[in-house]
Structure 1
């Protein structure tokens, strides 16, 4: 009996159809994934290789689709011409050569389906390999709340263990320089723990990879991030759209009081006699202190959305009468003292307050747990908002532009900033949460005061040149403190020029 007169059995035909469809579907899916994973033009050979492979798979899929329809029609109905008959004859001969064609085709189809699934399942579809987080400080302590979260991740994702690239420097300017060096040279980090003030710089200079908002995992579903906190993960200058990080923890100034201490109604009621007043140093702490003093005196310098308040001709920062009054009061507080004392301001303030030398202290939320140790007593401690707006601080988790594991890096970021993770950070580590969920379910007695303080907090100037701006701002403030509140004549112009990206002569 000729091949022409031996029709293919229906199960055999169905298996052949499946065998023809599977590679087309897989080529389309894998090719699309590789192409879509590339943001713009690649920066290295690996990126180009992925892009070319993805494009080749899509070309193959497009070509295969042109003949797939014809093959399916031939296999699922009687042949109508010589070409279709010859095609079926070839399949018959191949089947006899292989012996049991149905089993062979079934096996091939199963392998085609199982192979990619087996590759994806162990790592939940994430690129395999270690994920490196560059942090400003050493996160290796076993009791560290952040380390606890990483250990949870490592247990659930053995194919993507996390390692911290820590640093000994606690000074923000040194932390910043180290991360910029890594970002410029395509170094080791997949994820950065970025202070909120450095977000504009890293976004505008192309150091970061944006968050894929369309592919957010269920960890990020039902976002309840506080609005002003999540805004720090966007380009607040409005130049680059999208979400460039997720907020890991926020930060805000709080007022700590021993029970019985008079509740201050203004900056003047607490700051001159507070624990931090004698230890103002020429670091970012000075920028924070000066801005809060200015806002407490109803001045601005920087408005609610982080933009500098400029003179009508935009040539200088507007130092109005309220700002000048704030600088005069700061100078009065530090009269006869050296504001550039090299001590750790926050640690020194904590010691003075804990030892009862002062009844009031302005400090960050993490100070609460440190006061749980003798001789301080939490039973006699009250925590409230400042009587004016505080500077908004905090740290965001952002993907390095150079990471070769973007899906894994984003999944890690979403896990570390999930509602349950935020609750752990607050309850175990004392970090101010970024989500409403953590405030609702936390047990800390000052959680409501803290959430309200965060929502009322104000950003520092939004500029890609913040490091230089803050340095120049501190120099001018120190000058004013030593000169009864009078600042250098060109100080407002210098700040406006630096913030805009220009240079200013000394």
Structure 2
């Protein structure tokens, strides 16, 4: 076949035109896929993904705009495009390439199929079961709105496990256990519930291959470890961490950042008639307050790594003089009406009620979680009208490590979609939103570096010394027994009873 000049047209020019058009369509389609998934890459390595997306978009634009020119040149078989195609086909016709190219194509296809994980997400709604949010502006809803806007095939929503911490725990266990409702696809679990959910296989491990090491390394070490099992599996990612801070009045002369436990909770001399501390001894807060009192006295019934110290025979939890000293000081303080605000009494007060006592000006100090800072500043007008000013400092002695982790239900049938949601909610950008809008304590080092400011500097300092509670399957039962032990110290024997100490070292009941 010849053109009007008598020059023979190569027979494969039509094939080259078709090939060019296919490449253009593929590149344009790939660009669209990359853009559609760009919000899933809110991670430190997301810069590479964004850069690749930009390159593909530019390449798509070049190819689409070049279609008329390239097709025309190839059809007429003249111009630089035809010359380049001629040289390219000459290379392909080499005897070595006739064998090598098919081999490489097959190897790439097989390697990609077996080694590269599928990125497609199973369609369908995702349900997150969580406790009630106590922040003034719930930033979790904002994040869910962002997810839903960019993932219309996987809309997500919250269902609430109502009540105090132990009631929320029972609600989630009843949903997750065999014969439960299995309403949740993802659970937002308090860190102390992780062992129960792992050992009873209420949750499934995350696909670690989807998480680059440098992304996991961005999480604060001791925070990330709360989602890791003894088996080396990664079972959850932290949505937020938490740690105790000491909030103190700056409008009262003589009140300053405490340098000892006695400064904020002890019976030492005071410079004002205002009660000293907004103690919280209701439910789990009694365990937390008691552990921090024990650690302040250098007690070690619960060690730095969260293990319970055993007696020599291993039958009981070991309470030494330092442990008892810390519990005596705490019990003495919460029995002295001159040291706490009252209404409610310490045994009935939780974190939210302590905030109310502090805002009302009825306490000089308050040990509370990091999120309480946002609860206070959201009511700045009330504080200003009452003439109350405050600051927050890291506690002078170790705090209990708190926080919540996101884990996939074992009954979930869309694990890729559920994990994508968890990755989105725990990404660095999401952590910034949680912190700046809701005052949550971030889980990532990179976020602390970007936030700065006194509040988050105090949180980061407190995290360095924070200690976990026992990582045991029956933690809720252990906590109740520990609180009984705290009360035992005020009985006639003035020590934790042998019966309680045995319970704290005993085996966990089944069920």
Asked if TM exceeds 0.5, the reply is yes
Query: TM-score under structure 1 normalisation?
Result: 0.69
Match for residue 197 of structure 1?
A: 192
Unaligned runs of 5+ in 1: 1-8, 16-112, 114-122
Q: Secondary structure at the match of 2:383?
A: coil
Q: Cα deviations across residues 233-289 of structure 1 (Å, max 9, x unaligned)? A: 012xx2x22100000000100011122413322111211369785654340000001
- Is 2:316–2:498's contact at 8 Å kept on the other side of the alignment? no
Conserved in 2, the CA contact under 8 Å of 1:331 and 1:484?
no
Give the TM-score taking structure 2 as reference length. 0.69
Give 1:488's aligned residue.
497
Secondary structure of 2:459's aligned partner: helix
Change (3 A) 1:138 1:388: closer
When the two structures are aligned, how many residues end up with a matched partner?
Answer: 382
Q: For residues 465 and 186 of structure 1, do their structure 2 counterparts lie closer, same or farther at Cα, with a shift above 3 Å needed?
A: same
Aligned-residue offset at 1:432:
0.5
Change (3 A) 1:418 1:485: farther
Change (3 A) 1:309 1:334: same
Conserved 8 A contact 2:195-2:471: yes
Distance between the aligned counterparts of 2:364 and 2:474, measured in 1?
Answer: 38
Aligned partner (choices 246, 249, 271) of residue 255 of structure 1: 246
Aligned positions of 1:33-432 closer than 5 A: 125-137=120-132, 143-169=137-163, 171-184=164-177, 185=180, 187-216=182-211, 221=215, 223-235=217-229, 238=230, 240-259=231-250, 260=253, 261-272=255-266, 277=277, 279-335=279-335, 343-372=348-377, 373=379, 374-377=381-384, 380-432=389-441
Q: 1:336 to 1:486 in 2, by over 3 A?
A: farther
Q: State whether residues 324 and 489 of structure 2, in contact with CA within 8 Å, keep that contact through their aligned partners in structure 1.
A: no
Cα 1:247–1:442 change in 2 (3 A) is: same
CA pair 258-341 structure 1, distance change in 2 beyond 3 A = closer
Q: Provide structure 2 residue ranges, at least 5 long, that are not aligned to the other structure.
A: 1-10, 19-108, 110-117, 268-273
**Alpha-carbon distance in structure 1 between the residues aligned to 2:346 and 2:294:** 22
CA contact (8 A) 1:276 1:362 kept: no
Give the Å deviation of 1:167.
Answer: 3.0
Verify: 1:471 aligned to 2:480, yes or no.
yes
Q: How does 1:447-462 map to 2 (within 5 A)?
A: 447-462=456-471
For 2:136 and 2:302, how far apart are their aligned partners in 1?
40
Which residue matches 1:91? none
Does 226-235 or 469-478 show the bigger shift? 469-478
CA distance in 2, matches of 1:217, 1:148: 26
Q: Contact (CA 8 Å) 1:255, 1:384: kept in 2 or not?
A: yes
Partners in 1 of 2:504 and 2:172 — Cα distance? 24
Q: Given the superposition, is the C-alpha separation of residues 465 and 488 from structure 1 closer, same or farther in structure 2, using an over 3 Å criterion?
A: same
Displacement of 1:474? 1.1
Q: 2:298, 2:394 → 1: CA distance? A: 17
Residues 217 and 414 in structure 1, CA contact (< 8 A), matched pair in contact too: no
- Residue 226 of structure 1 contacts residue 455 of structure 1 at CA under 8 Å; is this kept in 2? no
